[in-house]
């Protein structure tokens, strides 16, 4: 029905239902609403008392499939530290001392070698420098043992020295087999490393391309790898893999605990190497066309340049317990600290 214009009485006279019919319609509507409420209440009670249904979503597998009849192994997520993406640079030392290799002593002081004047030095908190040892023939790589003993790579005569705590005169720990010369890439020993997985020293014998494991008493020298052009830096990861920089071979080498050797190319003149808490490999490359601090993802091989500014020949490399990175450049006469932000 289409209502036409007019007053209310006209509209009711023509189309409004009688009053009794309107009353009965209201009663009928009330009955319908009551039945609807009763039905909803019954449905709610049914839903509340119903047993919980099992999810149909897939559950991640917790174990690997057995291989060759072996027992399945539970697979748990491995917690990993977040790799910092940005750093703030702070120049700690500038304009003097020609710093080369770096290490921290037990008190947290940064030590550095100066092969140009034959000294081992400590960088103090106020920026001053204290000479700890002098008269060394081109000191390079440094390691501090748990008892405070300082291990020194003496490049000139190609040997390893130690300086005991509280003493002022080093002793010869081991004369290395290689014979250094003035020929290209034939200088003596450079970087060294401590292997916490075996409590030994890793010694690249730079002039002859060999890498050795040396016992802490200096009595046992075990060959690990050969055929590297000029191995100059070393680092060991938590699994016992040894990483060695090949300065004249444009490469980084990985020596597995079983002895397998893998070449990682694509470098200029890699000098020092270190491993951060996330398992990434850090390398200083002193090639004039690169002169950079480079980070490598050990799992994927992806590389990124973390820093190049201020460098001429970045060499020494060390990390502290907080993940700060320290790099020295003996030609730029600087030590730079990189703090994660």
Q: What is the mean pLDDT of residues 307-336?
A: 96
Domain ranges of the chain: 87-340
Q: In the sheet where 261-264 sits, what is the strand order?
A: 231-236, 242-246, 251-255, 261-264
The yes-or-no verdict on residue 332 having pLDDT over 70 is yes
87-340: CATH, from 2.60.40.1180, 3.40.50.970, 3.10.580.10, 2.120.10.30: 2.120.10.30
pTM as predicted: 0.76
What b/e string do you get for 66-87 counting C-beta neighbours within 10 Å, with b at 16 or more? Answer: eeeeeeeeeeeeeeeeeebeeb
What confidence tens digit (pLDDT) does each residue in 186-217 have? 999 999 999 999 999 999 999 999 999 999 99
Q: Per-residue pLDDT for 26 more than 70? A: no
In angstroms, the CA 113 to CA 320 distance is 18
* Phi, psi for residue 310 in degrees, rounded to 5: 80, -10
User: What number of other Cβ atoms are within 10 A of residue 298's Cβ?
Assistant: 18
When pLDDT is averaged across residues 88-97 and rounded to a whole number, the result is 93
Q: Is residue 66 scored above 60 in pLDDT?
A: no
| φ and ψ at residue 232, rounded to 5 degrees | -130, -20
pLDDT number for residue 83: 75
**Tokens for 224?**
């690990």
**pLDDT tens digits, one per residue of 237-257:** 999 999 999 999 999 999 999
- CA-CA distance, 157 to 176, in Å (whole number)? 9
d(C-alpha 66, C-alpha 198), whole Å: 32
* pLDDT beyond 50 at 6: no
- Which of the four pLDDT bands, split at 50, 70 and 90, describes residue 280? very high
pLDDT at 55: 39
Phi, psi (rounded to 5 degrees) for 20: -65, -40
Whole-number Å distance between alpha carbons of 312 and 333: 9
pLDDT tens, position by position, 30-40: 555 544 544 44
> Which helix (H) or strand (E) covers residue 121, if one does?
strand 119-123
Separation between Cα atoms, residue 55 and residue 85, nearest integer Å: 39
Token digits of residue 175: 């004369």
What value does the mean pLDDT take over residues 142-160? 99
pLDDT for the residue numbered 85: 78
Residues of the chain with pLDDT > 90, as a percent, come to 72
Q: Please tell me the distance from the alpha carbon of residue 164 to that of residue 288, in angstroms, as a whole number.
A: 38
Indicate whether 68 pLDDT > 80: no
| pLDDT beyond 50 at 101 | yes
For 102-145, what is each residue's pLDDT tens digit?
A: 999 999 999 999 999 999 999 999 999 999 999 999 999 999 99
b/e 142-170 (16+ beta carbons within 10 angstroms → b): bbbbeeeebbbbbbbbbbbbbbeeeeeeb
Tokens (6 digits) for 162: 């130690």
140 DSSP assignment: E
Tokens linked to 5:
């214009």
What does pLDDT average to over the chain? 84
């Amino acid at each position: 029905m289409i209502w036409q214009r007019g007053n209310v009485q006209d509209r009711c006279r023509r189309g409004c239902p009688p009053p009794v019919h309107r009353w009965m319609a209201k009663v009928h509507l009330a009955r319908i609403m009551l039945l609807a409420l009763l039905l909803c209440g019954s449905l709610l009670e049914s839903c509340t008392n119903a047993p919980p249904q099992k999810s149909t979503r897939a559950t991640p597998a917790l174990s690997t499939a057995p291989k060759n009849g072996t027992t399945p192994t539970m697979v748990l997520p491995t917690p990993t530290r977040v790799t910092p993406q940005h750093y703030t640079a702070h120049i700690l030392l500038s304009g003097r001392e020609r710093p080369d290799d770096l290490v921290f002593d037990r008190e947290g002081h940064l030590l550095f070698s100066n092969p140009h004047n034959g000294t081992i030095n400590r960088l103090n908190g106020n920026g001053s420098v204290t000479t700890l040892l002098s008269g060394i023939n081109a000191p390079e790589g440094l390691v501090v043992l748990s008892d405070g003993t300082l291990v020194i790579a003496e490049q000139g005569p190609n040997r390893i020295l130690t300086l005991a705590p509280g003493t002022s005169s080093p002793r010869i720990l081991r004369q290395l087999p290689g014979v250094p010369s003035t020929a290209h890439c034939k200088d003596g020993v450079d970087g060294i490393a401590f292997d916490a997985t075996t409590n030994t020293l890793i010694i690249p014998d730079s002039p002859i391309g060999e890498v050795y494991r040396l016992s802490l008493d200096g009595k046992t020298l075990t060959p690990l790898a050969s055929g590297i052009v000029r191995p100059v830096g070393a680092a060991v990861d938590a699994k016992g893999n040894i990483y060695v920089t090949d300065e004249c071979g444009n490469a980084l080498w990985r020596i597995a605990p079983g002895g397998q050797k893998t070449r990682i190319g694509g470098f200029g003149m890699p000098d020092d190497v270190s491993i951060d808490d996330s398992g990434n490999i850090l390398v200083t490359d002193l090639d004039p066309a690169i002169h950079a601090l480079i980070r490598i993802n050990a799992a994927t091989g992806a590389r990124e340049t973390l820093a190049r500014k201020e460098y001429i020949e970045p060499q020494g490399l060390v990390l502290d317990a907080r993940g700060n990175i320290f790099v020295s450049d003996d030609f730029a006469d600087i030590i730079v600290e990189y703090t994660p932000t």
